[in-house]
Chains A and B, each alone.
Chain A
Amino acid sequence: MDTIPSYCNCKILILGCGNILFGDDGFGPYVAEELQKNYNLPENVDVINAGSSVRNILFDIALSEKKPDKIIIVDAVDAAKTPGEIFELPIDEIPENKIDDFSMHQIPTSNLLKELKELCKVDIIIIACQVESVLEEVTDSISKKITDAIPEVCKRIKEIIKNG
């Protein structure tokens, strides 16, 4: 049996982040599922539909001796771009947050990612998709523009994997 989590033991880790109960926010999980179902990825690549549990995973990686070389985060954001637009979000552009207390519901994910990048030299890539609408209520229906973006993101990820 492995003594460390599979997501610490891989070369490239892909995390689909988001909540499928909030419409377009489910983008990350849907991408992860698409990769798992329909793409043949190399042995040393791990894909996880992290849902809203990404912090748990990042915490384990941060503490683990063995870490992936590269982490690709896939997430939906509202950055006032064209709905369905895919773009990379440079981790350095996310503002540093002070951390007075730690909590699994509240820890800034971006802080964890920055620590991993700066202190542990893990390459962090954030692939974001602009959402169509900002929701007030729970729904599991995702905008067509967002669904249409899934193949493009998968293609982009394959390229990243190919280039090492």
Chain B
Amino acid sequence: MKKIVIHPATRLEGHAKITILLNDEGNVDDVKFQQLDLRGFEKFCIGKPVEELPRIVTSICGVCPWSHHLASAKANDAVFGVQIPPAAKKLRELCNSIAYCEEHILHFYFLAGADFVMGPDADPSVRNVIGIAGKVPDIAKKVVRSRWLGAEMLEIVSGKAIHPVTAVPGGFSKPLTEKERDTALPLAEEVLEFAKFSIDFAKNSIFPNYLDAVKSLGVIKTGFLGTVTEDGTLDLYDGKLRMMDAEGKYEDFKCEDYTDYIGEHIEPWTYMKFPYMKKVGKLSMDLDNPVGVYRTNTLARLNVCDKIRTPLAQKELTEFREKFGRPVQLTLLYHWARLIELLYNAEYAVQLLKDPAITSKDIRIPVKPRAARGIGIVEAPRGTLIHDYETDAQGLVTNVNIIVGTTHNNAPINMSVKRAAIDLIKDGKYDQGMINKIEMCYRAYDPCLSCATHNLDGRLAVKIDIVDNKGELLDTLKNF
């Protein structure tokens, strides 16, 4: 069969591109999915002072700027060879937890909103945000208020809500005064109440209704990657990485050694890279016999951790494991895991604010440029985020490698999309509705297109090319 070379779309046009190759009988032979990467970012950073990066990288993603900001700050700390003061770490963690709360509240109520209020089979035209607000106005009010409290807290702690700037090489640029802490604490406690409400509400009114419905969509069996502390506790800011296979066996490694455990597989038809479990030796996206594939994101983090440091979230984890076991493969359960993570972050924010050490003025140590390599890893909402920098003796960047959360899911996304395509296209027959189902598989991962596809429209544009066994383009379906 002819090999198809796909030229990625230009940035402003940006869309995900899926090529479906049919065999002689008109059935799916192969599926190639690709999305745009942040091409040229490395080149853009080269020659810049490395301490500029924590500020620059916040533009990579408008949904999780804090994750990039903190990963970059950590990479800076490593490049400069410093351990930041304990209070600085607490402040960074506090900002991380608050940002997570905002994001998870938004994500859950937005994503699950249409399903639980309207039902997964409701006509797309009635599934709009205003409609949801109309049906459950009290919850809508709480969602807006909780997110606003999060933004207020971030302003108090870090001075800016939308474009983070306060994490710097060597620590944090602004201490938290006692007065500020006293203002922020009741806000955090209110967000915690809403987090508690959210998981109770979901367990009673939402999950029972649609647990059955989504069991079969694009389900695959994979390993998982997440971050834990030395004793296996879930941690979103720091720790060691844990790579777990589909059966639950795992190996831990330090973040500096990530290239020994995470390989990047290249395919000739795309600029995208496919991370895989390097120790396994290879990557195979074969649906019946996947090799080396792993996932990240909320469910992965919950699978790999042994426990959670805050009591309410730990209780939820115990219940979750009693119900579903460990590790859990069902993609749907990402939502449940997200709420447990929300609860953890809300509890942890309160815990940190109550810690007397958080108002310490010792929050930053000086740094000196040197030729070095430094790696900073955090758990972004969508998965393990890796910033890997190299500098020259003047502290100017000579090399940058960034693996964003979604990139880890490139292989599983390909597999899910392929599984859906095989079911939907038979004997050369398919219909326009197919594009919906394929999009759903892709969206289940909530992939981050890193704003490479930003356009006013902002939607996920998907183009599907259907190609016969001679490589001739049969049809193109697109939603833009």
Are B11 and A100 touching (Cβ within 8 A)? no
A20 near B: Cβ within 8 Å? yes
Q: Which of A4, A97, A100, A102 counts the most B-chain CB atoms under 10 A from its CB?
A: A102
Are A51 and B162 touching (Cβ within 8 A)? yes
Are A97 and B479 touching (Cβ within 8 A)? yes
Given contacts A4-B144, A105-B446, contact A115 B128 (CB under 8 A): yes
A25 near B: Cβ within 8 Å? yes
Chain B, interface residues (CB within 8 Å), range: 35 or more
Given contacts A136-B40, A138-B41, A139-B40, contact A106 B460 (CB under 8 A): yes
Are A5 and B114 touching (Cβ within 8 A)? no
Residues of B within 8 A of A88 (CB): none
Are B162 and A89 touching (Cβ within 8 A)? no
For the complex, give the distance between the alpha carbons of A75 and B12 in Å. 12
Are B151 and A63 touching (Cβ within 8 A)? no
Given contacts A99-B128, A120-B130, contact A52 B59 (CB under 8 A): yes
Within 8 A of B (CB), among A95-119: 95, 97-112, 115-116, 119
Residues of B within 8 A of A21 (CB): 41, 44, 56, 59-60, 451
Q: Name the distance in Å between B450's Cβ and chain A's nearest Cβ.
A: 9
Q: Name the distance in Å between A147's Cβ and chain B's nearest Cβ.
A: 18
Q: Name the distance in Å between A93's Cβ and chain B's nearest Cβ.
A: 11
Q: Name the distance in Å between A71's Cβ and chain B's nearest Cβ.
A: 13
For the complex, give the distance between the alpha carbons of A7 and B202 in Å. 29
Are A137 and B40 touching (Cβ within 8 A)? yes
Are B451 and A52 touching (Cβ within 8 A)? yes
Select B12's contact among A2, A25, A103, beta carbons within 8 Å. Answer: A25
Select B144's contact among A48, A60, A106, beta carbons within 8 Å. Answer: A60
B447 near A: Cβ within 8 Å? yes
Are B451 and A19 touching (Cβ within 8 A)? yes
Known pairs A5-B144, A63-B129, A78-B13 / 13 extra A-B pairs, C-beta < 8 Å: A1-B152, A21-B44, A22-B12, A50-B62, A52-B63, A52-B451, A56-B63, A98-B479, A102-B114, A105-B460, A108-B459, A109-B458, A136-B10
Q: Which residues of A contact B (CB under 8 A)?
A: 1-5, 8, 17-22, 25, 48-56, 59-60, 62-65, 73, 75, 77-78, 89, 94-95, 97-112, 115-116, 119-120, 126, 128, 131, 134-140
Interface 0/1 of B151-195, CB less than 8 Å to A: 110000000001100000000000000000001000000000000
Are B59 and A101 touching (Cβ within 8 A)? no
Given contacts A17-B456, A106-B443, A109-B457, contact A51 B59 (CB under 8 A): yes
B143 near A: Cβ within 8 Å? yes
For the complex, give the distance between the alpha carbons of A99 and B39 in Å. 28
Instruction: Output the nearest chain A residue to B62 by Cβ-Cβ distance.
Output: A52
The 10 closest A-B pairs by CB, nearest first: A52-B62, A137-B40, A109-B458, A108-B459, A106-B460, A53-B62, A138-B40, A63-B140, A138-B44, A62-B129
Instruction: Output the nearest chain B residue to A98 by Cβ-Cβ distance.
Output: B124
For the complex, give the distance between the alpha carbons of A2 and B144 in Å. 12
Are A135 and B128 touching (Cβ within 8 A)? no
Interface 0/1 of B440-458, CB less than 8 Å to A: 1001101111010011111
Q: Is the interface of A mostly helix, strand, loop or mixed?
A: loop
Are A100 and B39 touching (Cβ within 8 A)? no
Are A50 and B449 touching (Cβ within 8 A)? no
Are A99 and B127 touching (Cβ within 8 A)? yes
For the complex, give the distance between the alpha carbons of A140 and B41 in Å. 10
Residues of A within 8 A of B162 (CB): 48-51, 53
For the complex, give the distance between the alpha carbons of A78 and B458 in Å. 14
Given contacts A97-B459, A108-B458, contact A22 B11 (CB under 8 A): yes
Residues of A within 8 A of B163 (CB): 49, 51
Residues of B within 8 A of A120 (CB): 130
Given contacts A51-B163, A63-B143, contact A110 B457 (CB under 8 A): yes
For the complex, give the distance between the alpha carbons of A97 and B124 in Å. 9
List 10 contacting pairs A-B, 8 Å CB cutoff, sorted by A. Answer: A19-B451, A21-B41, A55-B458, A59-B110, A97-B459, A98-B124, A102-B127, A109-B457, A110-B457, A131-B12
For the complex, give the distance between the alpha carbons of A138 and B183 in Å. 40
Instruction: Output the nearest chain A residue to B59 by Cβ-Cβ distance.
Output: A21
For the complex, give the distance between the alpha carbons of A109 and B128 in Å. 12
Select A89's contact among B439, B451, B456, beta carbons within 8 Å. Answer: B456
Instruction: Output the nearest chain A residue to B57 by Cβ-Cβ distance.
Output: A21
